[in-house]
Structure 1
Amino acid sequence: MPLNEPITPGTVDWTGENPGILLKDDAGNFSAMALFFRVAWSPVGQGQVLLLYGSPDQVAGPSEAPNVILSDNPDLTAFLKTNFISKLAAFAGAPGFATLPEIGAQAVRTSGDPMSHRYTETIAGPGLTVELVWEGFEKPRALELSPHEVASGEQNMFSLLVPARSAQIIVNGRALPGTLGTRVQAGYETTTAFLYFSETWIIPPEPA
């Protein structure tokens, strides 16, 4: 059967992939966080951006656990920071958010298979290689969320979510400490390691 409304009203904000890993310490505080964007379309073009908090409770963090952005499109970085990441409390509320250094991503590589047991994203820049590893996948879920159900509170979002039961953030060969926590997405409990595919954010039209 065709959809009642075959064209979703509103303005496309961006579309692509948006996997992430959030690790916690024994006290339940975030010990390391990574959010990766592979954007297929946005008003400022395509690109790949990794936001890494190796030390979320610090402004900069040491070299082995830095707070940094790796990106191959600076305009996209600025767009995402202003229009999306700044609305995510866990990331925007970190001490280093306003002063995150940005370095150029020289290579980005995907490996593994989200239908198998392991999937990775590896992002490399001058003197820094970050590997994100997801393992132990749950069944995928197709999401269609309204503004009150998403962290930004502003857009409609469509996506395929594949949660993982195990994950690592590896910086220059060293795994950052921490374990996965739980979170609630669209009313069901999942983990703080997730793959989002075919993710599209749409700004709803103004009320008539």
Structure 2
Amino acid sequence: MTRIPHNPGRVDWSGENPGIYLKTDPANPQYDTLALFFRVVLSPYGRGNAAIVLGAPDEARGWPHVPNLIMTDNQRLMRWIVDGWVTKMPTFIGKPGLEAMTWLDCDSVEKRPGDLKTRYSETLRGSGVTLEMIWQDMGPPLPVEVTKENSATKEHEMYSVFLEAKQAQVKLNGTALPGQVADRQFFGRTMSTAFLAFSETWVTPQEGN
């Protein structure tokens, strides 16, 4: 197919969407900790920041009983993204913890980019909770173009710049959630389950494309 400079589709949202998926047993297909960060700069519901953490993905309970929660400063935006995107991502599909997670207000977000090679972090605070997501030892930037058929939602195209991290942590009120970074297959190549995702844009293709 010939590439054209102007995509005729509709931009749904754009921003940053790094993630951390951790396992205590690399051989186990199930993850022990799932975490996604969102810094949305463009959407029908405005701008917003958020982090989803499932420290007990297979338990239908929320915070403070188990570490299943979302922190955000734009709940309307994030309910739209959770329903339209997160629930359709293969790693999150059918997870009881996603449905049961507690929604918390976020008062502040602090980004510490470092040099984007050794360390990067996002810290969210609010509702009596401090959440830290930390990525370390990053690889080179990888430009990604994903067609509708291969995207997580099977409805959108996705464009982004990924940097995989060889180490990562998710800390909730200073306590690290369980698991270590593992490997996964990502569009034909082996990559880390912790990654930075910048300039991420989701597009609804024009009908007929």
Q: TM-score, normalised by structure 2?
A: 0.92
Within 5 Å, give how 1:42-191 maps onto structure 2: 42-60=43-61, 63=64, 65-191=66-192
Deviation of the 1:123 alpha carbon? 0.9
Which residue identity is paired with 2:44? P
Which residue identity is paired with 1:109? E
Deviation larger for 70-79 or 82-91 = 82-91
Cα distance in structure 2, aligned partners of 1:114 and 1:64: 37
Q: Give the 3-state SS of the residue equivalent to 2:91 in structure 1.
A: helix
- Asked if the contact 1:159–1:200 (Cα under 8 Å) also holds between the matched residues in 2, the reply is yes
Within 5 Å, give how 1:30-49 maps onto structure 2: 30-49=31-50
**Please, which runs of 5 or more residues in structure 2 have no aligned partner?**
none
In the alignment, structure 1 residue 12 sits paired with structure 2 residue 34: no
Which residue identity is paired with 1:54? G
Deviation of the 1:148 alpha carbon? 2.1
Q: For the structure 1 residues 139 and 65, does the alpha-carbon distance in structure 2 shift closer, same or farther, using more than 3 Å as the test?
A: farther
Deviation of the 1:62 alpha carbon? 6.2
**2:202 aligned residue:** 201
Q: Give the 3-state SS of the residue equivalent to 1:124 in structure 2.
A: strand
Structure 1 residue runs of 4+, over 4 Å off? none
Q: For the structure 1 residues 23 and 114, does the alpha-carbon distance in structure 2 shift closer, same or farther, using more than 3 Å as the test?
A: farther
In the alignment, structure 1 residue 25 sits paired with structure 2 residue 24: yes
Identity %: 38
**Please, which runs of 5 or more residues in structure 1 have no aligned partner?**
none
Q: Give the 3-state SS of the residue equivalent to 1:183 in structure 2.
A: strand
- Asked if the contact 1:64–1:172 (Cα under 8 Å) also holds between the matched residues in 2, the reply is no
Aligned-CA RMSD value: 1.8
Deviation of the 1:64 alpha carbon? 7.7
Number of matched residues? Answer: 206
Cα distance in structure 2, aligned partners of 1:65 and 1:174: 13
Cα distance in structure 2, aligned partners of 1:178 and 1:149: 28
